[in-house]
Amino acid sequence: MSTAIVPFIERVQSNAMHNDYYERIKACLLGYKGVKNRSSIRCDSYRYKGKLIAKIAVGGHTLKLYLDAEVPAEMKVSKVSKEGVSAYKEVPLMLPLKSDVAVRKAQAVIASMMEAKGIEKA
């Protein structure tokens, strides 16, 4: 039995909820000037002037957003640090996207990250 690798975009599109969350986060990230994305078999990567600022991946049954950001102190967000994992050393903050509320909070974290980096809305 062969274990074929299912491309990232197919895994996202196979679940309507994941696809909705993915499209909302993607639109949020690409709504900033100079942010470009690239899709690979494992994930979607977002770069600004060549520097990785975000990744979206599927792990198990959860859509995950990885960011090069700090969560504002006043914001309560479900988060995990992936600093020890070499694949995520540039984007160590992981936010699981399991609900509409989690997506809205992730969009707020993205907005504060972009403001901190001085990246303007398109």
pLDDT at 2 over 80: no
Give 18-31 pLDDT, tens digit per residue: 999 999 999 999 99
CATH at 103:
3.90.1150
Give domain status of residue 121, yes or no: no
Question: Tell me, what's the pLDDT at 70?
Answer: 85
Collapsed DSSP state (helix, strand, coil) of residue 57: strand
CB 38: neighbour CB atoms within 10 A? 9
Q: Tokens 């994992």 appear where?
A: 85
Give domain status of residue 122, yes or no: no
Where helices occur in 1-122 by DSSP H, the ranges are 8-13, 16-30, 100-117
Q: For the chain, how many structural domains are there in total?
A: 1
Question: Tell me, what's the pLDDT at 109?
Answer: 93
Give domain status of residue 1, yes or no: no
Give domain status of residue 14, yes or no: yes
Where in the sequence is the domain holding 106, given as residue range(s)? 8-115
CB 53: neighbour CB atoms within 10 A? 23
pLDDT at 41 over 70: yes
Give the pLDDT band of residue 1 (cuts 50, 70, 90): low
Give domain status of residue 120, yes or no: no
Give 56-76 pLDDT, tens digit per residue: 999 888 999 999 988 877 888
Give 63-120 pLDDT, tens digit per residue: 999 999 888 778 888 888 888 888 889 999 999 999 999 999 999 999 999 999 999 9
- Cα–Cα distance, 79 to 36 (Å, whole number): 24
Give domain status of residue 3, yes or no: no
User: What is the model's pTM?
Assistant: 0.91
